[in-house]
C-alpha cells in the first residue's frame, strides 16, 4: 500500500514536472510532405536525436497525401498549440504563404527543410537545404559518365515537368554536357517525366528502352524514378550495357546495388538535415545564433555551418555517392 502511494505520488510529481518542462522547453514540430515516406522518416530521426541531446521537445505530424493544401490545417493547429518552431517540407512553393505569415506574426520560427520555396522566401525565416543544389547536375553527369566511359546516348527520367528542383538540376546537366569537353561523346537524347508515380515512371522508363535501343545510361534525379528505372533495366536484362544512376535512398536501392543492376547513385543525408535544423532552431531561439547571411555556427559532427544568401543553410557541399563499398553503412 505504501509502495503504491509512493508510485502514485512519484507519478504525480512526474506529471507536474512534465508539465513544467513542457512550459520551459522549446517546442519544435516538423511537418513532412506526407506520412509513409521513408526519406522523411530519416529527417524526423535527425530532429528527434538532436532534440534529445539539446533538450527541446519534438513532435511530428503529417497529412496522408502530398497534395498542395493538405498541410494547412496541421500548421494552423500547431500555431494554436503555441509551438516555438515549425519546420516543414512544404508541398507547394506558394500555397502556404498565407498561413506561414500567420505563424510568424505569432512569433513562431518557420523553417523550410529539404527544398526551398522559390519566389516566396519572404514568408519563411530560413531554409535548410541538404546540399549545395548547384553541384547536383554536374555530379550526376560525372557519375554516369564514369560508368559509361563518357560515351553514348543518355536520357533523363525526372519527376513532373514543373518540379522546381529537378528542373534546376536538369538545366545544370544540360549546361555541363554542352560546355565540358570531357562529355563531348555523351549525347542527351530525351527527358522523360514519370510524375513521381511508380506506374508512370515504369512505363516511361520502358518507353525509353524501346525508343532508344542504343541507350547507354539513364539519370533519374528523383527517388521514385531511379528505383523504377533500375527495376525496368533489371527486368529487361540490359545491365551492365545500360547504366542507371540518379538520386535514391540506400534502402530503396540496396537490392539493385547488391545484384549489380546499379553501380552507384547519389544522395545526401536527410538525417543530418534534421540534426542541423534542430541545432539552428535552438540557437536562434536562445540567441546564440543570429539569423543573418554570413553568420556562422557549429554543429557537432557537421562542422562550421555558414548562413548563406536569402538565409539558405546547406547541410553539406557535395552529394554523397553510394556504391557496393559503402551502402551497408547506411540505413535510411
Partner 1 sequence: MSATETFDAAKARPLWHRIVVRPESVTLLLLIAAVFVSAWLSPFFADLRFVLESATFYIEFGIIALMLTLVVVSGEIDLSVAATMALSACLFGIAHRAGLGMPVAILIGLGSGALMGLFNGVLVTVFRLPSIIATIGTMVLYRGIAQVIAGDRSVGGFPDWFVGIDFIAVGIVPVPVIIFVVLAILLGLVLGSTLFGRQIYQTGTNPIAARHAGIRVDRLKMILFTASGLTSAVGGLLMASRLGVVRYDLATGGELQVVLIVMLGGTYIFGGRGTIAGTFLALWLLIIIQTGMTVANIAIEAQLTVLGLLLILAIISANAIYAGGRR
Partner 2 sequence: MTALGRLVRVREAGLVVMLVILAVVVGAIQPRFLTIATLDIILLAIPLILVAAMGQMMVIVARHVDLSIGSILGFASIAVGMMFRDIPEMPLWLGFILAIAIGAGLGLVNGLIIALFRLPAIIVTLGTLSLYRGLIFILSGGRQVDPNHIPEALIRMAQTSPIGVPWIVIIAFFTALLAYVFLRHLRLGREIYAAGSNPDAARLRGIRVNRVTLVVFSLSGAMAGLAGLMYAARFGYVNPGITGVGFELTVIAAVVIGGVSINGGIGTVPGVVLGVLLLGAVSVALPILGISGFWQDAIYGAIIVIALIVDGSVRAGGLVRLVTGRGG
Interacting span for partner 2 (CB under 8 A) from 109-117, 173-181, 246-254, 301-309: 246-254
Order of all β-strands in the sheet with 215-220: 186-193, 152-158, 215-220, 243-246
Min. distance of Cβ 65 from partner 1 in angstroms?
Answer: 7
Determine the Cα–Cα distance for residues 221 and 133; give it in Å rounded to an integer: 12
150 binds, among partner 1, partner 2, none (CB under 5 to 8 A by kind): none
Interacting span for partner 2 (CB under 8 A) from 139-147, 175-183, 192-200, 300-308: 192-200
Binding string to partner 1 for residues 151 to 190, with x set by CB under 8 A, is what? ---------xxxx---------------------------
- Number of chain positions touching partner 2 (CB under 8 A): 40
**Is 250 within 8 Å of 330 (Cβ atoms)?**
yes
Between 227 and 289, whose beta carbon lies closer to partner 2? 227
Determine the Cα–Cα distance for residues 57 and 5; give it in Å rounded to an integer: 29
Of residues 237-266, which lie at the interface with partner 1 (CB under 8 A)?
none
Please pick, from the candidates 25, 37, 72, 153, the single residue that binds partner 1 as defined by CB under 8 A: 72
Binding string to partner 2 for residues 144 to 163, with x set by CB under 8 A, is what? -----------------x--
**CB-based burial label for 171 (10 Å; 0-12, 13-18, 19+):** exposed
Determine the Cα–Cα distance for residues 86 and 103; give it in Å rounded to an integer: 8
Q: Does 70 bind partner 2 (CB under 8 A)?
A: no
SS3 163: coil
Please pick, from the candidates 93, 189, 234, 255, the single residue that binds partner 1 as defined by CB under 8 A: 93
Determine the Cα–Cα distance for residues 52 and 29; give it in Å rounded to an integer: 14
Interacting span for partner 2 (CB under 8 A) from 37-45, 90-98, 269-277, 286-294: 37-45
Between 76 and 290, whose beta carbon lies closer to partner 1? 76
Give the contacts of 7 (CB within 8 A, at least 6 positions apart): none
Place of cell 539519370: 219
Please pick, from the candidates 25, 95, 133, 142, the single residue that binds partner 1 as defined by CB under 8 A: 95
Is the peptide bond preceding residue 12 cis, with omega within 30 degrees of 0?
no
Return the closest-CA partner of residue 120 out of 98, 140, 102, 104. 98
SS3 241: coil
Q: Does 38 bind partner 1 (CB under 8 A)?
A: no
Q: Does 228 bind partner 2 (CB under 8 A)?
A: yes
Give the contacts of 300 (CB within 8 A, at least 6 positions apart): none
Q: Does 68 bind partner 1 (CB under 8 A)?
A: yes
Place of cell 543492376: 261
Q: Does 67 bind partner 1 (CB under 8 A)?
A: yes
Determine the Cα–Cα distance for residues 274 and 180; give it in Å rounded to an integer: 35
Please pick, from the candidates 59, 167, 203, 285, the single residue that binds partner 2 as defined by CB under 8 A: 203
Query: By the criterion CB under 8 A, which residues form the site for partner 2?
Result: 34-38, 41, 64-65, 161, 190, 192-195, 197-200, 202-204, 206-211, 227-228, 231, 234-235, 237, 251-256, 258
Amino acid at each position: 500500500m505504501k509502495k503504491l502511494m509512493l508510485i502514485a505520488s512519484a507519478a504525480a510529481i512526474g506529471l507536474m514536472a512534465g508539465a513544467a518542462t513542457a512550459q520551459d522547453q522549446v517546442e519544435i514540430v516538423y511537418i513532412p510532405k506526407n506520412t509513409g515516406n521513408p526519406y522523411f522518416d530519416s529527417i524526423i530521426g535527425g530532429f528527434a536525436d538532436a532534440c534529445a541531446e539539446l533538450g527541446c521537445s519534438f513532435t511530428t505530424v503529417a497529412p496522408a497525401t502530398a497534395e498542395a493544401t493538405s498541410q494547412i490545417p496541421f500548421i494552423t493547429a500547431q500555431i494554436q498549440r503555441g509551438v516555438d518552431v515549425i519546420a516543414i517540407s512544404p508541398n507547394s512553393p506558394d500555397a502556404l504563404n498565407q498561413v506561414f505569415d500567420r505563424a510568424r506574426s505569432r512569433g513562431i520560427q518557420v523553417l523550410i527543410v529539404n527544398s526551398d520555396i522559390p519566389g516566396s522566401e519572404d514568408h519563411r525565416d530560413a531554409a535548410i537545404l541538404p546540399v549545395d543544389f548547384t553541384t547536383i547536375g554536374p555530379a550526376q553527369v560525372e557519375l554516369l559518365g564514369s560508368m559509361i566511359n563518357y560515351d553514348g546516348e543518355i536520357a533523363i527520367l525526372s519527376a513532373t515537368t514543373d518540379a522546381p528542383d529537378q528542373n534546376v538540376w536538369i538545366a545544370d546537366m544540360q549546361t555541363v554536357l554542352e560546355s565540358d569537353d570531357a562529355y563531348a561523346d555523351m549525347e542527351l537524347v530525351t527527358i522523360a517525366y514519370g510524375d513521381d508515380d511508380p506506374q508512370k515512371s515504369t512505363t516511361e522508363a520502358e518507353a525509353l528502352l524501346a525508343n532508344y535501343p542504343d541507350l547507354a545510361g539513364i539519370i533519374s534525379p528523383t527517388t521514385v524514378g531511379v528505383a523504377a528505372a533500375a527495376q525496368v533495366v533489371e527486368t529487361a536484362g540490359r545491365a551492365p550495357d545500360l547504366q542507371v544512376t540518379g538520386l535514391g535512398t540506400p534502402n530503396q536501392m540496396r537490392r539493385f546495388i547488391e545484384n549489380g543492376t546499379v553501380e552507384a547513385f547519389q544522395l545526401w543525408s536527410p538525417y543530418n538535415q534534421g540534426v542541423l535544423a534542430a541545432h539552428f532552431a535552438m540557437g536562434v531561439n536562445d540567441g546564440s545564433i543570429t539569423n543573418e547571411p554570413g553568420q556562422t555556427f557549429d554543429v557537432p559532427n557537421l562542422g562550421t555551418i555558414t548562413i548563406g544568401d536569402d538565409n539558405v543553410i546547406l547541410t553539406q557541399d557535395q552529394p554523397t555517392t553510394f556504391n557496393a563499398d559503402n551502402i551497408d553503412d547506411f540505413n535510411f
